[in-house]
C-alpha cells in the first residue's frame, strides 16, 4: 500500500454540474448531496411531520423522584377529561405485554439467577427522575399534557444512589431482588502484566473522571404507531437508529412476530449519533394504545423529557489507570480499571464497556495489559450509545496516564509518545486484545502535526514572545498532540459477549461465529433509471449520495439517474446497519457487489434476447452491446424485456459480508468474542488552547488536525464528519455534562444547563489528510463516523495539561469536562 | 381504561387571528396558548419550521416576523395576529433555490438538516443587515442557533459564498 503525502486542506468539492459532466469518476469527489434540496426548502419529512388523520397524541407522566415506591396512581380525573381517550399504567402493560429486552437480562445472585426486568412503564418502584409511570392519550399534545397533569401519583420516597463509585458499595440497591448494583464486570489479562509491573523501572498511577454526556441531537425521539385490526399487525414510523437490528426491542415487548411489526424510519432523521438506538419504550407505548383505541398514536418527546429521562445518556466513568514504564521511555505495561455508571437499567449498549479493547493501547506498542471494568446501576436515566461508543473516555484516560508517565521519566511528552508508536513496518499490527490495525504511518502523522505546531512557534500563536506576554496576563497557552486511532466497522458477533458464558468462549470454534452482512438492493426501472434500496437508516451522513455516487461509477451512468430509498424492518433482512463507523466500508462493499450482479444479469438478459452466448455481449456506459457491433440495448430496453419474465433479472440484492470474516488473522478475536474492528482510521490533533487561570476558562484558539481514513469516497462528507465529531469533542471536553445532585435530581434538563457548543465555542479547524487505503476493504475506505469525538477530547485535555505545565499543577485535566470551576480549584490547590 | 365524554364540555376557548405567512393571509381560530411554531407547522403546514427545544436555545424554529428573526417557539400565535411572517418555505422562487440555500448546499453546510431552516433564516437577516460580514460578525450573527452535526466550519463558508453571490446582484 502507499501512503500519500498530506493533501491540500481543501477537499475536492465539485458543483453538481461539474461533477456530472467532467468527472471521470464520481467516487472520490465531493459530489454535493442529493439529500439537501428537500431539507433546504423545508420539504423534508422528519418524524414530527408525520401526523395521520384521526391520530391521537401521547403524553407521559414521569417520576419526579429518583427512587420511590409507587403507592397509588389515581387516573380518574384524567379519565374524566372529555378529550382524554385512554390512560395506561404498568398494570395495563403487564397484563398484556412483555418487559423490554435489556442488555443484561438476568443476574446471578446468592439465591440463584434473578431476572432484571424493565417495563415500558414503572410499576412498583420508580428508579430515576423522568421514568414514565403513566401514559395519557388525547386529541392533541396540548390536551394530552393537560390530562397528564390530572394524574395523581402517590410516592413513598427512598434513598437514592446517583454516583457509580458509591453504587458499588451497595448501601442503596437500585434493584432489590438482584441485591447488588454491580451487575456485570470482567478482568481480562493479556500477556504477562504482573511480571511487567513488578519489573518496570516506574509505575505511574492516575484517577480520571469522564462526566455523563450524550449526543443530544436537535431532533428528539418520535413515533407514530398504527395498529391494523384486520391483520393484527403494527406499522411503526419512528426515528429509531438501526431499525433492522433493534426492532426486536419493539416486537418482543409487544409479544408479536418480527413480520407483524413493520418499523419504518423516515429518510430524514434530525441527528442521532447513536442516541436514538434505544427509543423503543415510546414505540411500544404508542403501539399498545393504538391497538386499544384502533387509532394511530403520535408522540414526540419534548426537550426536557429528552434530557432528564429520555434513556439516552452515555458513558459516565471513573478510571484508575496504571502504566509501567522504563527509564529509557519504553511503555511496558498498561492497567485499566474503571466503573461505568449505567443508570437504572442495563440497556442495549452494555458492550460499550468492551469496545475500548479494539484500541486498548491506542497507537502505542504495549504487550502486557490488564483490562477490568465494573458496570454499576444507579438512580439515573439509562445509558445508550453515543458516537465513539465508550472509546472516547478510554482514549482520554489513556492519554492522561501517558502524560503522567512522561513526567515521571522526565521526557518530553511528544518524544515519549513517538518512541512508543507502532511503526509502519509492524502493520498489520495485532493488539494484545487481538483486534488488528490495518495500515498507517503513525510516526509520520505525529511528525507532520509537530511541524504545524513548530510553524506556530515561529511568529504564530505559540511564538515564545506571545506566549510569554500572555502569561503575564494570566493566560497560559499550550498544545500536546498524540496519534489516536478510530476503530471502524464493528463486527456483530462480539457484541453479546456479556450474555455469553465467557469461560466457554476459550474453546469456541471459528464456525460458531455468526456475522451480519450489509444488505443492498437495486432494480432497473422502466425509464432506464436505477433504484437502490438501503436496509439501514440515515441521520445526516449522506448515505443516499454515497450510494448514488458509487453505483454511478459501477454502472457507468450518472448519479442523477439513480434514486436511493429505504427499506422498512419487514422488507429488509435483519442486519447491522448504520452505526460503529461502518457505512463507508459496508455500503461501498455492498454497492460494488450489487452492481456486479446487476451487470452480469443485464448481459445475460441481452445475450438471451439476441440468442448469442454471453461472450458475445458487453456492458458499457449504461447499455449492453453486441460485440459484433450489430445492436445495443439501453437500460430501459432491458427493463422492458425483463418485465415479462417470472424471475426478474433486473431486480437484484446483495449481502456484503463483514470484511474481517475472510481474514484468518481475525479468527482469534472472533472466536473469543473480543471486539473486531478491522479498519483503523487515525489522526493527530493540535488544539492550541489558552487557559485563563483567573477564570478557569479554556479557549481553543485554533484546532489543527491531520487525519487518515483510507480512501475518501466523498472528501466533502469525510471532512463534514470530522468537523462534527471534533465539535462534539469540544463540547465533551469543555462544556457538556449531565450533572446530578446526590439525591438523584438531574441538574441539566434544559439546553440552558446542558451546554451544546455554539458557533462561538467551536474554533477554526484546519485539516490535512493522508490516504492509506485499508487492505481489508473493497474500496480501501476505513470507518470515519466517530473519529473527531474519539480524538478531540483527549487532545484538548493533553493540551490543557501542556498549557499549565509551568504552574506545576497536579494533572489539571483529570476530569472531563474540564469546566472552569474545576480548573480554578486545581489552580487554587496548587497555589497553597 | 377508556372513558366516555361527559358533562357540558364545549372545547377550548379560541380566538380568530389573521397572519400573513409567506405572502398569503391565513385566518384561523386558535387557542391563546398555541405556540407560533405549532401554528406555522400544524395550521399552515409549514414543516420547515423545526421544533428542537421549545425553550428558545436551539434556534431550529427561527422565522422572520415583520422582517426580524424570532424564535417561533417563544411566542404565541395570537401575538402574531396582523403580522407578516416569513419561513424558509418562502425563500425559493419558481423552484430555484435562494442564494443562501444554494450556498449551504454547495458547501455542505448541512448534515441531518434539522437546524438548517433556522440557520438559513438567521443568515438571511445577517446578510440583510451586513452584506459582507467578517468571520467575527458571522459568529455573532449566528450565535443563537445550534448545529450539532457540522461543527459550523462549512456554515462560515456558506455565509461567505452567499454574501458574494447576493452582492453580485442576485
Alpha helices, DSSP H only, in A458-542? 464-472
**Nearest beta carbon to residue B114 from set A43, A46, A716:** A46
Distance from CA of A565 to the nearest CA of B (A): 16
Residue B170: the pLDDT is 45
For residue range A746-783, what is the model confidence (pLDDT) as tens digits?
Answer: 999 999 999 999 999 999 999 999 999 999 999 999 99
Chain A residues with CB under 8 Å of B142 CB are 759
Residue A791: phi and psi, rounded to 5, are -95, -25
Long-range contacts of residues A637-644, Cβ cutoff 8 Å, at least 24 apart: A637/A528, A638/A524, A638/A602, A638/A605, A638/A606, A639/A524, A639/A525, A639/A526, A639/A527, A639/A528, A640/A526, A641/A605, A641/A609, A642/A524, A642/A605, A643/A526
Domains A317-490+675-831 and A516-657 belong to one CATH topology? yes
Q: Which residues of chain A from 534 to 563 reach within 8 Å of chain B, CB to CB?
A: 539-542
CATH code of the domain made up of B99-167: 1.10.150.120
Angle at CA of residue A522, ends A519 and A524, nearest 5°: 170
Cβ distance of B57 and A82 shorter than 8 Å: no
Encode pLDDT of A650-667 as tens digits: 999 999 999 999 999 999
Interface of B with A in 80-119 (CB under 8 A): 87-89, 91-92, 97, 101, 104-108, 110-117
Cβ contact (<8 Å) for B150 and A723? Answer: yes
Residue of A nearest to B61 (CA): A218
- CA of A13 vs chain B CAs: smallest distance (Å): 8
pLDDT in tens, A383-418: 999 999 999 999 999 999 999 999 999 999 999 999
Nearest to A746 by CA among A130, A273, A210, A22: A130
Helix count and strand count (H, E) for chain A: 21, 32
Question: Which residue in the block uniquely carries the three cell numbers 420516597?
Answer: A157
Judged by DSSP in three states, A407 sits in helix
Residues 797-816 of A with CB under 8 A from B: none
CATH of domain A317-490+675-831: 3.30.365.10
Q: Could you report the per-residue pLDDT of A697-712, keeping only the tens digit for each?
A: 999 999 999 999 999 9
Omega within 30 of 0 (cis) for the link into A303: no
Distance to chain A for B158, nearest Cα, Å: 13
With contacts defined as CB-CB under 8 Å, which chain B residues touch A88? 1
Chain B residues closer than 8 Å to A270 by CB: 50, 52, 112-114
Of the candidates B91, B101, B105, the beta carbon closest to that of A32 is on B105
CA-based nearest distance B151→chain A, Å: 4
Contacts of A268 in chain B (CB under 8 A): 112-113
* N residues, chain A: 832
Closest chain A residue to B104, measured at CA: A40
Q: What mean pLDDT do residues A676-692 have?
A: 98
- A603-633 confidence digits (pLDDT tens): 999 999 999 999 999 999 999 999 998 899 9
Q: Which three cell numbers stand for residue A263?
A: 418499523
Residues in B touching A32 (Cβ below 8 Å): 105-106, 108
> Measured between CB atoms, which of B33, B105, B149 is closest to A540?
B149
- CA closest to B12 among chain A residues: A143
pLDDT at B3 over 70: no
User: Quick check: A42 pLDDT over 60?
Assistant: yes
What would the DSSP string read from start to end of A281-345? HHHHHHHHHHHHHTS-EEEE--HHHHHHHSS-B---EEEEEEEEE-TTS-EEEEEEEEEEE--SS
Q: Rounded distance, CA A501 to CA A499, Å?
A: 7
Say how far apart CA A780 and CA B78 lie, in whole Å: 58
Distance of CA A466 to the CA centre of its chain: 40
- Considering only CA atoms, which of A819, A450, A513, A456 is closest in space to residue A676? A513
Q: What is the ipTM of this complex?
A: 0.96
List the single best residue of B151, B154, B155, B165 to mutate versus A (max A Cβ within 10 A): B151
CA–CA distance, B34 with A757 (Å, rounded to integer): 30
Cα–Cα distance measured from residue A97 to residue A284, given in angstroms and rounded to the nearest whole number: 9
List the 194-253 stretch of A: residues with Cβ below 8 A of B: 215-220
Instruction: For cell 465529531, name the residue.
Output: A725
Which of residues 143 through 162 in chain B touch A, CB cutoff 8 A? 143-155
pLDDT the model gives residue A511: 95
**Which residues have a Cβ under 8 Å from the Cβ of A483 and sit 6 or more positions away?**
A362, A363, A417, A421, A442, A445, A446, A682, A683, A684
Domain boundaries, chain B: 15-90, 99-167
- Residue A476 in this model has a pLDDT that exceeds 90: yes
**What distance in Å separates residue A352's CA from the closest CA in chain B?**
22
The answer to whether the beta carbons of residues B54 and B73 sit under 8 Å apart is yes
Across the range A575-586, mean pLDDT stands at 90
Residues of A in contact with B12 (CB under 8 A): 143
Does A11 have pLDDT greater than 70?
no
The strand pairing partners of A30, in sequence order, are A13
Residue of chain B with shortest Cα separation from A220: B52
Nearest CA in chain B to A268: B112
Whether the pLDDT of residue B8 is over 90: the answer is no
CATH code assigned to B15-90: 3.10.20.30
pLDDT at B43 (0 to 100) = 96
* Nearest CA among A58, A136, A66 for reference residue A308: A66
Please write the tens of the pLDDT for every residue from A188-206.
999 999 999 999 999 999 9
**What part of B 61-80 touches A (C-beta under 8 Å)?**
none
pLDDT-derived band at A348 (thresholds 50, 70, 90) equals confident
Q: What is the rounded average pLDDT for all residues in chain B? A: 94
pLDDT digits (tens, 9 = 90+) for A52-98: 999 999 999 999 999 999 999 999 999 999 999 999 999 999 999 99
Closest-CA residue of B relative to A767 is B153
User: Is B46 within 8 Å of chain A by CB?
Assistant: yes
Which 77-116 residues of chain A touch chain B by CB within 8 A? 79-88, 92
| CB A87, CB A135: distance < 8 Å | yes
Residue ranges per domain, chain A?
317-490+675-831, 516-657
- Is the CB of A49 less than 8 angstroms away from the CB of B138? no
Residue A302, chain B, CB below 8 Å: the answer is yes
pLDDT tens profile B35-50? 999 999 999 999 999 9
CA distance A449 to A795: 12
- Tell me: pLDDT of A21 over 80: no
> Looking at residues A356-365, what average pLDDT do you find?
98
Tell me the CA distances in angstroms from A331 to A94, A159, A520, A562, one per residue in order: 55, 45, 45, 52
What does the pLDDT average to over A316-340? 98
Residue A25 has pLDDT above 70, yes or no: yes
Q: What is the CATH number of domain A516-657?
A: 3.30.365.10
- With contacts defined as CB-CB under 8 Å, which chain B residues touch A293? 2
Of A414, A404, A187, A204, which is closest to residue A324 (Cα–Cα)? Answer: A204
Chain B partners within 8 Å of A47 (Cβ): none
- CA-nearest residue of chain A to B100? A40
State how far residue A528 is from chain B, nearest Cα, in angstroms: 25
Closest partner residue to A219 (CB to CB) among B52, B135, B143 is B52
Q: What is the pLDDT of residue A110?
A: 84
Give the pLDDT mean for A309-336.
Answer: 98
A218·B117 Cβ contact <8 A? no
Q: Distance (Å, rounded) from C-alpha A18 to C-alpha A27?
A: 14
Cα Rg of chain B (Å, integer): 18
Q: What confidence score (pLDDT) does residue A597 get?
A: 98
Tell me if B108 and A717 make a contact (CB, 8 A cut-off).
yes
Interchain contact, A142 vs B3, CB within 8 Å: no
- pTM of the full predicted structure? 0.96
Question: 572-591 in A: which are within 8 Å (CB) of B?
Answer: none
Q: Which helix (H) or strand (E) holds A656?
A: strand A651-656
- Cis peptide bond N-terminal to A428, omega within 30: yes
The answer to whether B151 contacts A216, with C-beta atoms less than 8 Å apart, is no
Q: What percent of chain A has pLDDT over 70?
A: 97
| pLDDT (mean) for B5-10 | 61
Amino acid at each position: 500500500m502507499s501512503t500519500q503525502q498530506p493533501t491540500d486542506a481543501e477537499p475536492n468539492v465539485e458543483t453538481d454540474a461539474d461533477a456530472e459532466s467532467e468527472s471521470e469518476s464520481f467516487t472520490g469527489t465531493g459530489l454535493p448531496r442529493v439529500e439537501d434540496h428537500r431539507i433546504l426548502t423545508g420539504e423534508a419529512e422528519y418524524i414530527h411531520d408525520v401526523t395521520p388523520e384521526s391520530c391521537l397524541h401521547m403524553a407521559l407522566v414521569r417520576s419526579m423522584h429518583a427512587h420511590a415506591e409507587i403507592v397509588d396512581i389515581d387516573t380518574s380525573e384524567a379519565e374524566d377529561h372529555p378529550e382524554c381517550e385512554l390512560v395506561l399504567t404498568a398494570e395495563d402493560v403487564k397484563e398484556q405485554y412483555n418487559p423490554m429486552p435489556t442488555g443484561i437480562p438476568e443476574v446471578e445472585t446468592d439465591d440463584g439467577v434473578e431476572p432484571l426486568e424493565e417495563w415500558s412503564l414503572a410499576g412498583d418502584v420508580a428508579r430515576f427522575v423522568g421514568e414514565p409511570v403513566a401514559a395519557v392519550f388525547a386529541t392533541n399534545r396540548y390536551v394530552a399534557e393537560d390530562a397528564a397533569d390530572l394524574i395523581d401519583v402517590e410516592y413513598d420516597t427512598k434513598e437514592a444512589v446517583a454516583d457509580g463509585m458509591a453504587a458499588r458499595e451497595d448501601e442503596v440497591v437500585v434493584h432489590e431482588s438482584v441485591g447488588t448494583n454491580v451487575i456485570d464486570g470482567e478482568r481480562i489479562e493479556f500477556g504477562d502484566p504482573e511480571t511487567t509491573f513488578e519489573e518496570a523501572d516506574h509505575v505511574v498511577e492516575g484517577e480520571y473522571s469522564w462526566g455523563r454526556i450524550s449526543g443530544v441531537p436537535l431532533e428528539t425521539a418520535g413515533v407514530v404507531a398504527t395498529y391494523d385490526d384486520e391483520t393484527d399487525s403494527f406499522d411503526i414510523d419512528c426515528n429509531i437508529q438501526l431499525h433492522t437490528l433493534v426492532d426486536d426491542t419493539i416486537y418482543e415487548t409487544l409479544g408479536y412476530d418480527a413480520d407483524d411489526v413493520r418499523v419504518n424510519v423516515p429518510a430524514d432523521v434530525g441527528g442521532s449519533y447513536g442516541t436514538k438506538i434505544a427509543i423503543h419504550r415510546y414505540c411500544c407505548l404508542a403501539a399498545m394504545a393504538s391497538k386499544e383505541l384502533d387509532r394511530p398514536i403520535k408522540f414526540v418527546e419534548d426537550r426536557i423529557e429528552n434530557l432528564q429521562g429520555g434513556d439516552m445518556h452515555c458513558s459516565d466513568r471513573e478510571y484508575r489507570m496504571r502504566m509501567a514504564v522504563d527509564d529509557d521511555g519504553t511503555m511496558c505495561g498498561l492497567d485499566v480499571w474503571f466503573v461505568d455508571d449505567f443508570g437504572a437499567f442495563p440497556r442495549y449498549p452494555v458492550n460499550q464497556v468492551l469496545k475500548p479493547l479494539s484500541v486498548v493501547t491506542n497507537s502505542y506498542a504495549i504487550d502486557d495489559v490488564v483490562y477490568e471494568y465494573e458496570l454499576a446501576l444507579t438512580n439515573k436515566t439509562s445509558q445508550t450509545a453515543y458516537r465513539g461508543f465508550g472509546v472516547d473516555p478510554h482514549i482520554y484516560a489513556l492519554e492522561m496516564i501517558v502524560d503522567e508517565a512522561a513526567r515521571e521519566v522526565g521526557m518530553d511528552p511528544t518524544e515519549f509518545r513517538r518512541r512508543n508508536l507502532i511503526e509502519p513496518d509492524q502493520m498489520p499490527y495485532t493488539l494484545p486484545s487481538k483486534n488488528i490495525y490495518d495500515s498507517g504511518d503513525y510516526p509520520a502523522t505525529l511528525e507532520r502535526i509537530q511541524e504545524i505546531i513548530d510553524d506556530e512557534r515561529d511568529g504564530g500563536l505559540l511564538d515564545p514572545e506571545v506566549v510569554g506576554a500572555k502569561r503575564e496576563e494570566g493566560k497560559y497557552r499550550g498544545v500536546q498532540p498524540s496519534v489516536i486511532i478510530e476503530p471502524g466497522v464493528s463486527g456483530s458477533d462480539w457484541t453479546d459477549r456479556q450474555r455469553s458464558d465467557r469461560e466457554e468462549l476459550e474453546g469456541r470454534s471459528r464456525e460458531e461465529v455468526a456475522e451480519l452482512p450489509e444488505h443492498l438492493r437495486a432494480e432497473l426501472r422502466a425509464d432506464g433509471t436505477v433504484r437502490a434500496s438501503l436496509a439501514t437508516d440515515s441521520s445526516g451522513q449522506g448515505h443516499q449520495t454515497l450510494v448514488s455516487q458509487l453505483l454511478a461509477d459501477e454502472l457507468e451512468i450518472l448519479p442523477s439517474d439513480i434514486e436511493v430509498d429505504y427499506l422498512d424492518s419487514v422488507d429488509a433482512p435483519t442486519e447491522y446497519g448504520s452505526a460503529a463507523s461502518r457505512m463507508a466500508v459496508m455500503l461501498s462493499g455492498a454497492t460494488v457487489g450489487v452492481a456486479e450482479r446487476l451487470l452480469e444479469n443485464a448481459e445475460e438478459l441481452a445475450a438471451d434476447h439476441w440468442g448469442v452466448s454471453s461472450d458475445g455481449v458487453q456492458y458499457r456506459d449504461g447499455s449492453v452491446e453486441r460485440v459484433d457491433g450489430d445492436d445495443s440495448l439501453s437500460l430501459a430496453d432491458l427493463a422492458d424485456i425483463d418485465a415479462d419474465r417470472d424471475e426478474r433479472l433486473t431486480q437484484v440484492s446483495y449481502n456484503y459480508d463483514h470484511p474481517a470474516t475472510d481474514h484468518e488473522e481475525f479468527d482469534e478475536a472472533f472466536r473469543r468474542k473480543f471486539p473486531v474492528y478491522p479498519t483503523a482510521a487515525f489522526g493527530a490533533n493540535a488544539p492550541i488552547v489558552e487557559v485563563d487561570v483567573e477564570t478557569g476558562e479554556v479557549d481553543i484558539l485554533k484546532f489543527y488536525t491531520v487525519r487518515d481514513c483510507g480512501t475518501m469516497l466523498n472528501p466533502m462528507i469525510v471532512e463534514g464528519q470530522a468537523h462534527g465529531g471534533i465539535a462534539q469533542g469540544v463540547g465533551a471536553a469543555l462544556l457538556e455534562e449531565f450533572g446530578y445532585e446526590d439525591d438523584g435530581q438531574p441538574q441539566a434538563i434544559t439546553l440552558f444547563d446542558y451546554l451544546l457548543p455554539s458557533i462561538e465555542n467551536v474554533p477554526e479547524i484546519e485539516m490535512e489528510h493522508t490516504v492509506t487505503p485499508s487492505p481489508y476493504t473493497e474500496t480501501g475506505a476505513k470507518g470515519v463516523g466517530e473519529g473527531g469525538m474519539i480524538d478531540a477530547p483527549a487532545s484538548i485535555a493533553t493540551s490543557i495539561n501542556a498549557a499549565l505545565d509551568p504552574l506545576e499543577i497536579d494533572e489539571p485535566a483529570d476530569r472531563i469536562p474540564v469546566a472552569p470551576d474545576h480548573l480554578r480549584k486545581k489552580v487554587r490547590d496548587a497555589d497553597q | 381504561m377508556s372513558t366516555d365524554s361527559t358533562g357540558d364540555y364545549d372545547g377550548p376557548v379560541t380566538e380568530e387571528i389573521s397572519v400573513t405567512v409567506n405572502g398569503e393571509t391565513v385566518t384561523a381560530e386558535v387557542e391563546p396558548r398555541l405556540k407560533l411554531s405549532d401554528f406555522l407547522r400544524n395550521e399552515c403546514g409549514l414543516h420547515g419550521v423545526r421544533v428542537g427545544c421549545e425553550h428558545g436555545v436551539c434556534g431550529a424554529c427561527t422565522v422572520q416576523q415583520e422582517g426580524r428573526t424570532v424564535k417561533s417557539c417563544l411566542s404565541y400565535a395570537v401575538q402574531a395576529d396582523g403580522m407578516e411572517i416569513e419561513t424558509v418555505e418562502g425563500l425559493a422562487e419558481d423552484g430555484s433555490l435562494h442564494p443562501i440555500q444554494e450556498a449551504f448546499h454547495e458547501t455542505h453546510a448541512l448534515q441531518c438538516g434539522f437546524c438548517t431552516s433556522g440557520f438559513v433564516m438567521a443568515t438571511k437577516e445577517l446578510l440583510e443587515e451586513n452584506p459582507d460580514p467578517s468571520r467575527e460578525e458571522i459568529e455573532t450573527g449566528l450565535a443563537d442557533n445550534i448545529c450539532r452535526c457540522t461543527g459550523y466550519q462549512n456554515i462560515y463558508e456558506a455565509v461567505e459564498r452567499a454574501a458574494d453571490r447576493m452582492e453580485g446582484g442576485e
